[in-house]
Structure 1
Amino acid sequence: MGLSKSQKKRLYGDKAQLEATTPPTRTTAKMSAADSRYRQGELYADPTKSSSNMYLVVGFIVSFSLIAYNYLWVLPQFSHFAGNTVPELLFSFGRDEIEAFAGSTDPDYIAQYATYHLSAALIVPFVCLLTWTGMIFASHLSLRERSLHLPLPVLFAIIYGTGNLALNAALANPAGSVVGIASALISARWALFILLLAQLAYLCLRLVRGKVDAFTRGELPEQQ
């Protein structure tokens, strides 16, 4: 059974009354505010924290794994069966390369190659678009900077998909004018991929520099 107020007063004197009536100090209020922020942080992810950035790390691992799988395994396998390099592994190509590939390849492999363009090959630009977009938003860019960075992964995904369609059309009609369009789209795909890598390097350096500056100023959540 707890002590009454009069019993506490007899045992502890005026100290108990003073503690009960004293308003919270600034330090206590600061600790309460920090505790409130901590509880909110448990419910809402903060993209500046390492736990949230892990999603980006996983996204990039998946993206580069898919790119490596497609360009270092799947497409070389198509080249091996055809006896000629598939056109999209070349930076540019013309009618001679298309006719050589289509003429030396079994129609069944051509059909499988076209199906690949409309199925598994489309996963690569989709995953890259999601990952790069997440990286751009996690970098806390200004609205103007974000509007400059976002079009690049979007354009890459569009060019990637339309390039697949144009390449299928070029293989179906090697003598047609669509061969030039397919070659231009594949060349643009390679150029945009190089720009994506440059963009990734810039955003990573920006994130690291921001973390270092925040650590120097003592503004990281772990330093509060």
Structure 2
Amino acid sequence: MSARPAPAPPARLTRWEQRTEVPLFAAGLIFLTGYAVRVLTPHEAEPWNDIALILVWSTWLLFLVDYGARLRLSGLGPRFVRVHWLDTLVLLLPLLRPLRMVQVYLAVQRRRDRPRLSLYARVIAYAGLTAGLLGFAASLAVYHLEHTAPDASIRTFGDAVWWACATLTTVGYGDVAPVTFWGRAVAVGLMAGGLALLGAVTGSFSSWLIQVFTREDEKRPPERG
């Protein structure tokens, strides 16, 4: 028996997501900026730390309101938490909001007659942007968790950025690595995200190459017997 297709989301939920996805992405950037100020500036740097804390909490409350609205509009009730597990995870860990970049793009494209870029270029471009934002968020989190830990090798934000680049690209030099439990938890999440993004880019590039070769074969005149 063939599997049943997933039911389409309610029209009200679709309209809500189309209208709020881009503003929420901007709110995600504000959240990341506020978190960066909290992590990278000295504790006595006032009033910037207080302003950053207000930005972090106010944007998170905005994410909470959006989550509650989509839960109500979906008509799924408590099942929304399981069906939309990525949204639930992003609400609990807002630094993972870059993973919703592809959904942001789809919301923008629904407002246009046709996409401006090919499917493969879209996947590669948005995977790259997602990787950049995710790497920056992971760098902040690991630096925050690691730089004061005993025997830590990640002492500066530059060390954290270098570690994030090596982890995202699956190079893994090993010259710097987290030593705390939560730092390693962030590392596991970044490894999983890096592998997923690398797979998306590699698969899209391979599909594009196959499509190019197929078109070239179709243009080639048939061989005479």
Could you say which TM-score interval applies, normalised by the shorter chain? under 0.3
Rg comparison, structure with higher value: 1
State TM-score, norm by structure 2. Answer: 0.28
The structure where helix makes up a greater share of residues is 1
